[in-house]
Amino acid sequence: MSANPVIFNNTVLRDGHQSLAATRMTTEQMLPALELLDNIGFGCLETWGGATIDAGLRFLKEFPFDRLDAIRAKTKSKHMMLLRGQNIVQYAHFPDDIVNAFITTTANHGMDIFRIFDALNDPRNMGTAIKAAKAAGKEAQGVICYTSSPVHNTESFIKLGQDLEDLGCGSLCLKDMAGLVPPRQAYDIIKGLKDSVKIPIVLHTHETAGIGATTYYAGIEAGVDSIDTSIIPFANGTGQPDTARMLALLENHPRAPKYDLDALQALREHFTKVYEELSDYTSFANERVDADALKYQVPGGMLSNFRNQLKEQGMEDKFEDVFKEIPVVRKALGWIPLVTPTSQIVGVQAMLNVKFGRWKNFSPQATDIALGYYGRTPAPVDTEVQRIAATKSGKDPITCRPADLKDPGMDALRAALAAKDYPTNDEHCVIQAMFPQELEVYYKSKDAPAAPKPTKTAPTDRESIDLGSGPRHYGINLDGKRYAVTVDES
């Protein structure tokens, strides 16, 4: 075990409010806390990425790079963002030139660490982002997405870590996005990685199922270099364990760090006020420990939100059936991990299987996974399911890196922005690539009143089964009857 104190990274400005308040914290609500956050001595502050770019643009009328600039101007700590590899912060794969432009531009705005993951754990979907981060002089942190299945084990995770080190990553993160990794397995994976690679290891989990803090303790015993914590009330539940709580758990431990408890209390008081201001977006279901996450092996936020969405589909009595179908879909699609966007894709397909019959209604996203358009799955896709997907879609399976089929896109983006008389710099190009409709609404409504607030069931990034740029699934009432409707992207 390492004798060095474990480093705490802080997630309150990104994952904390994404997990517990539908990513609705505004830049203005963050600014008063920055001096305290900056001076405590966290390893880094997670300030961007995940759903913050989408939510800021869509709901808060904030141009994403403006937030990054505002936080960077008031902090000297390292900044970290979560990046979905070739998906950037969307659900579809983008051409290499757009990925490169996004990372280069973000680095120029002060981002220090790019935490890069792929939903299938396919290193081919992470390579471009890793190279771009390194070329920009920044740290590329490769992610191992934890999941459990017959083809995932300690050895396979360690092998992935070695592959990511070979790709040039400066650090690794074992990302337990659903709070499901048992403490002993976390110990074994971290210990194996520490024995096998030379770069620092980060452990990330959630308190969804009530084992997150214990998992961190086990990781610290195994020699992990840093862990991610947040600050109450944007902590625990579906968020990361609270910083002060972790300090208490480590009291008298030889690797316990020292952080200012008075400063943490002041931060808690500030964020408690913010949490109250965001009460329309918070939910007790996300604050509590939910052991169902262990039973169903899905992200906890997905549980609470999926219950509501099944109700909207008139399928509230099919909850158990749908969640029993999830491992069936996962197995057929090659035992893919459940992390954005695959958790949403698997959830939708399980619902469609129960409602219409297994594989009778194949969602476009599940079709693309079956045919290789998301990347290499951990295990082979079921051959019959792949045949059905190919027949229904008229598309052939592929084995190449999906982005190899993408033509460069920056010139077309610049032309599209120019045609609308919008700025044509790289900042606007990359946002246009991912969120063209939201960007247009942003410019049209900059001076309009704030958008109405959604109900308490507003989804977070991990909770939603709305697939962004792809088809949307709705429940509608027509002449007194309930129908499930799929609306194609076009």
Nearest CA among 456, 468, 451 for reference residue 21: 456
Torsion of CA 435, 437, 439, 441, to 10 degrees: -150
Rg (C-alpha) for the chain, rounded Å, is: 21
Does an H or E element contain 40, and which?
helix 34-40
pLDDT at 484: 52
Instruction: Say yes or no to pLDDT of 41 above 90.
Output: yes
d(CA 273, CA 384): 54
Residue 238 covered by a domain = yes
Least confident span in 53-67, 92-106, 277-291, 436-450: 436-450
**Average pLDDT over the chain, rounded to whole?**
91
Per-residue pLDDT tens digits for 111-122: 999 999 999 999
Is 468 part of a structural domain of the chain?
no
Query: What is the rounded average pLDDT of the residues 302-315?
Result: 78
Residue 258 has pLDDT above 50, yes or no: yes
- In the block, tokens 């990372």 appear at 103
Residue 101: name the closest of 484, 457, 425 by CA. 425
**CA separation for the pair 461, 436 (Å, rounded):** 18
Could you tell me whether strands 201-204 and 226-229 are parallel, antiparallel, or unpaired per DSSP bridges? parallel
Whether residue 289 is contained in a domain is answered as no
C-alpha closest to that of 3 among 223, 228, 247, 258: 223
pLDDT digits (tens, 9 = 90+) for 320-379: 999 899 999 999 999 999 988 898 899 999 999 999 999 999 999 999 999 999 999 999
pLDDT at 447 (0 to 100) = 55
> In the chain, what percentage of residues exceed pLDDT 90?
81
pTM, 2 dp: 0.90
State the residue range of the domain holding 165. Answer: 7-284
pLDDT above 80 for 486: no
Amino acid at 423: P
**Band of the pLDDT at 290, cuts 50, 70, 90?**
confident
Confidence of residue 464 (pLDDT cuts 50, 70, 90): very low
pLDDT score recorded for residue 292:
82
> Is residue 299 a part of any domain in this protein?
no
Q: Is residue 402 part of a domain?
A: no
Which residues sit opposite 478 in a β-bridge? 481
pLDDT at 449 over 60: no
- Residue 286 CB neighbour total at 10 angstroms: 25
The pLDDT assigned to 306 comes to 77
Q: What is the DSSP letter of 464?
A: -
In the predicted structure, residue 3 carries a pLDDT above the cut 50: yes
Is the pLDDT at 451 greater than 70? The verdict is no
With respect to residue 38, please indicate whether it lies within any of the assigned structural domains: yes
- Please tell me the least confidently modeled range out of 79-83, 140-144, 190-194, 454-458: 454-458
Q: Compute CA 215 distance to the chain's CA centroid, rounded to the nearest angstrom.
A: 20
Mean pLDDT of 124-152: 97
What's the whole-number mean pLDDT along residues 139-148?
97
Element holding 274 (H helix, E strand): helix 261-277
Residue 361 domain-assigned (yes or no): no
CA contacts within 13 A on the Cβ side of 249: 18
In a domain, 383, yes or no: no
Task: Give the number of domains in the chain.
Answer: 1
The CATH number of whichever domain residue 23 belongs to comes to 3.20.20.70
Is the pLDDT at 391 greater than 50? The verdict is yes
Cα–Cα nearest to 45, from 7, 85, 19: 7
